[in-house]
Amino acid sequence: MTNLIDLSGKNAIVTGGSRGVGRATSLLLAEAGANVGISYRNRADEAAATVADLKARGVSAWAEAGDLTDPAAAAALFERGVSEFGGVDIVVVNHGIWPVEDVAIADMDAERWKRTLDVNLNAAFYTCQQAARALRPDGRLIIVTSTAAQRGEAFHADYAASKGALVSLVKGFCVELAPRGITVNSVAPGWIDTEMAAPAMQGVERSTIEAKIPIGRVASPDDIAGPIVFLASGLARHITGEIVNVNGGAVLVG
């Protein structure tokens, strides 16, 4: 049977690729035949394990450490992609933080606000800027945002604002890159069963969260990776500037 998604010969970069959604996406890209380079900030053991799992799927793979809030780190990531792969076809901007503590806007200090926007927005901008320079014709850029980008999130205004800005970036950036055949899209997850979200889903909180999801469960990282890889494929060649919501219907019930 023919594999509908065949990324053989394509080269991908996934930020935050050592765990959670980034790891699941990297592995699925590799299963479709793509070579994958991942970025990570400080968990070298997890990054090495992910690279080993990628190579076990028969593709070329590597990991690059760096803090993408530094434009030089973003540049180094893509320089490696070009030097090791010879070119870049797929970029998945997945890194980010979600400060778990509930803080009202009136009480939020400047340090938290600046840190969240630096990691979620500024680092994404530096990454997208490098992607625009490195992506080959007919490339794919997928940015992971959030349902919070469209609905807002009380007591997490920093996170919602940072992700909302990424949605606007997708909408404008897709027009800029379209003449080269490059598509720019976003996948917007709801709750995901990851380390980042784990503190908010302790005990009864998880059942409360799941009760508000029509499908009845929190997404797994694989649930998010599938739509990302679809957008990276030729099947999605005429989709650009879109926000694909992957939340089990949660936005429909408030």
Q: Return the DSSP state at 152.
A: -
Nearest one of 100, 131, 58 to 195, comparing CA atoms: 100
Q: Catalytic annotation on 126?
A: no
Q: DSSP letters of 87-144? A: SEEEEEE-------S---GGG--HHHHHHHHIIIIIHHHHHHHHHHHHEEEEEEEEEE
Catalytic residue among 18, 26, 39, 146: 146
- Whether the CB-CB separation of 130 and 78 falls below 8 Å is answered with yes
Whole-angstrom distance, CA of residue 217 vs CA of residue 92: 25
Q: Return the DSSP state at 220.
A: P
Q: Which residues contact 28 (CB under 8 A, 6 or more apart)?
A: 222, 225, 226, 228, 229
Catalytic residue among 40, 126, 163, 233: 163
Pick left, alpha or beta for residue 9 (phi over 0 → left; psi -120 to 50 → alpha; otherwise beta). Answer: left
Catalytic residue among 10, 26, 126, 159: 159
Q: Which residues contact 54 (CB under 8 A, 6 or more apart)?
A: 26, 27, 30, 36, 38, 61
Q: Catalytic annotation on 40?
A: no
Write out the H or E segment, with its range, that includes residue 38: strand 35-40
Catalytic residue numbers, as ranges: 146, 159, 163
